[in-house]
């Protein structure tokens, strides 16, 4: 055998060894497994090695956060993972039990199909779309799925173009196709950036690689360099492996905030036909409301947490001309103190970054358990700015409903249930939500409802003039606070 033929045989065998050695779950591929066409073999070259089977793996993808928010918001629908798929804490989905191969047909391409389905359904808007059997192909750089739309099955629909360009398969950019737009029922989705995609694949360890050809001296030829066989993939930790928390801030990967604002205020708003409407990632949760995760970071060593949450609450009572929306909730915490910050929108103005309530974190423990940090039933009190946002009919320092939040620093962490934690009485969830295109929508479990109910047992009532001018509030130049006109009455909540 010529020396050039021996080198080619050795390179091919080493590439197969690299793939077959992936006994652990991997987030990276051989350098050649990104869709590039292999060079034609020279005459007399050894035959291509057998493909390496994929024996397990997962795919994380959420399609499009905007679409999920539409389904559970404006469309009053549900999102249901099934058949081996499950919802992640950030609202995306995990598909499991990967099958496929690396190097099929003698090429350097990975194809993998995943088990599981997710169904988007709305009775109000008359659609039911199920995505199943998702498949990735690093050769075509496509993600496909079998799509059943209103009872009609179409197989292998190209849903997204995936940026398979290097070895990594973590948080790859995706772009929705026109076929995806057609199946989801909105032409503008074509060409829109979809949710990032992450795949973890496990290859068959038992696949026997070709033995490298011996060198002229009789010793085994050295392994080829990365230039002709591709560098070895990066191995991810095996399931169950624990590692120390990294020093410094950790990026938050998921979370949820539960808060009811103030029970007596909700009761006043819904009296006389008013409503409190969650939307855009917020949902009714018993006597409170659940807000979906946005982004943030945690530094457990320094006891610092910054987290933002998606969703909004709109308070409307026409007979009192109340129309105001709380949105863009954030928690800034350090040590034993924290602040709940939000934006207040009215038909006439928006006041951003209002430090609405102080948080008493004197009993807080910033250590995570199972990748989750939970701060439960944190006492909260109105600031002067929060009091002003409610037209000063609640004094600064008066308690609001307590705040409960959970955040994750591990993508496999599971959030606690959304059971209400305030323990206060309030309205029941009825009615429907308004639409939103917010991110971080809540998956599954039905529709968020407008809150309606009776006054609190105390009989306290916000004066008729409370928040009268909120709907026409304007931001006073340079003032930095929301200016509201008030009608004073003797009764106070």
DSSP for 315-357?
Answer: EEEGGGTEEEEEEEEEEEEETTEEEEEEEEE-SS-EEEEEEEE
Helix (H) or strand (E) holding 4: helix 3-20
- pLDDT value at residue 417: 64
Q: Cβ(260)–Cβ(287) under 8 Å?
A: yes
- pLDDT value at residue 108: 79
- pLDDT value at residue 63: 96
Judge whether residue 323 has pLDDT over 80.
Answer: yes
SS3 82: strand
Tens of pLDDT, residues 159-190 = 999 998 766 788 899 999 999 999 999 999 99
- pLDDT value at residue 105: 66
**Most confidently predicted of 104-108, 224-228, 390-394, 406-410:** 406-410
Tens of pLDDT, residues 72-91 = 988 999 999 999 999 988 88
Tens of pLDDT, residues 453-463 = 332 333 333 33
- pLDDT value at residue 415: 81
Radius of gyration of the chain (CA): 28
SS3 179: helix
Tens of pLDDT, residues 290-307 = 999 999 999 999 999 999
What is the pLDDT averaged over residues 410-426? Answer: 56
What is the pLDDT averaged over residues 1-29? Answer: 46
Phi first, then psi: what are they for 265, rounded to 5°?
Answer: -70, -45
SS3 41: coil
Q: State the chain's mean pLDDT as an integer.
A: 74
CA 164-170-172 angle, to 5 degrees, is 45
Q: Which residue did the predictor score with more confidence, 97 or 472?
A: 97
What is the pLDDT averaged over residues 420-425? Answer: 33
Q: Cβ(234)–Cβ(201) under 8 Å?
A: no
What is the pLDDT averaged over residues 363-377? Answer: 90
Phi first, then psi: what are they for 178, rounded to 5°?
Answer: -70, -30
Give the pair of three-digit tokens for residue 114.
Answer: 């995943």
- pLDDT value at residue 30: 58
Judge whether residue 191 has pLDDT over 70.
Answer: yes
Domain map of the chain by residue range? 25-34+52-208, 250-483
Judge whether residue 55 has pLDDT over 60.
Answer: yes
SS3 319: helix
Give the pair of three-digit tokens for residue 301.
Answer: 């060593």
pLDDT range class, residue 26, cuts 50, 70, 90: low
């Amino acid at each position: 055998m010529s020396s050039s033929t021996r080198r080619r045989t050795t390179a091919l065998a080493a590439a197969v060894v690299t793939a077959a050695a992936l006994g652990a779950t991997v987030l990276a591929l051989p350098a050649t497994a990104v869709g590039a066409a292999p060079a034609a073999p020279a005459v007399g070259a050894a035959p291509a090695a057998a493909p390496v089977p994929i024996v397990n793996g997962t795919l994380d993808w959420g399609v499009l956060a905007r679409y999920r928010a539409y389904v559970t918001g404006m469309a009053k629908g549900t999102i249901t993972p099934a058949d081996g798929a499950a919802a992640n804490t950030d609202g995306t989905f995990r598909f499991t039990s990967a099958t496929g191969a690396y190097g099929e047909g003698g090429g350097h391409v990975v194809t993998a199909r995943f088990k599981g389905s997710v169904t988007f359904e709305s009775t109000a808007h008359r659609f039911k779309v199920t995505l199943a059997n998702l498949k990735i192909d690093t050769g075509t750089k496509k993600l496909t799925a079998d799509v059943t739309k209103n009872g009609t099955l179409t197989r292998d629909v190209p849903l997204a173009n995936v940026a398979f360009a290097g070895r990594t398969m973590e948080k790859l950019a995706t772009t929705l196709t026109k076929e995806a737009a057609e199946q989801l029922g909105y032409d503008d989705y074509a060409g829109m950036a979809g949710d990032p995609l992450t795949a973890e694949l496990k290859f068959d360890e038992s696949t026997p690689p070709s033995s490298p050809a011996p060198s002229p001296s009789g010793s085994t030829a050295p392994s080829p360099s990365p230039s002709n066989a591709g560098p070895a993939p990066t191995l991810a930790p095996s399931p169950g492996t624990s590692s120390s928390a990294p020093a410094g801030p950790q990026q938050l990967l998921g979370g949820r905030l539960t808060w009811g604002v103030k029970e007596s205020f909700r009761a006043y708003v819904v009296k006389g036909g008013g409503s409190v409407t969650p939307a855009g990632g917020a949902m009714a949760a018993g006597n409170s409301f659940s807000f979906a995760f946005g982004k943030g970071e945690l530094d457990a060593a320094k006891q610092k947490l910054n987290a933002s949450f998606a969703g909004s609450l709109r308070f409307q009572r026409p007979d009192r001309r109340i129309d105001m929306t709380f949105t863009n909730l954030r928690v800034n915490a350090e040590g034993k103190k924290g602040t709940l910050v939000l934006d207040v929108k009215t038909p006439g103005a928006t006041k951003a970054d209002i430090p609405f309530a102080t948080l008493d974190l004197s009993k807080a423990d910033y250590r995570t358990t199972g990748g989750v940090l939970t701060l439960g039933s944190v006492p909260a009190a109105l600031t002067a700015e929060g009091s002003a946002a409610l037209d000063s009919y609640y004094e600064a320092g008066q308690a609001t409903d307590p705040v409960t939040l959970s955040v994750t620093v591990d993508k496999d962490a599971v959030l606690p249930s959304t059971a209400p934690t305030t323990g206060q009485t309030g309205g029941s969830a009825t009615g429907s939500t308004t639409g939103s295109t917010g991110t971080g929508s809540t998956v599954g479990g039905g529709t968020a409802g407008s809150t309606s109910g009776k006054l609190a047992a105390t009989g306290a009532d916000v004066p008729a003039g409370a928040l009268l001018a909120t709907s026409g509030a304007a931001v006073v130049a340079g003032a930095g606070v929301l200016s509201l006109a008030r009608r004073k009455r003797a009764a106070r909540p």
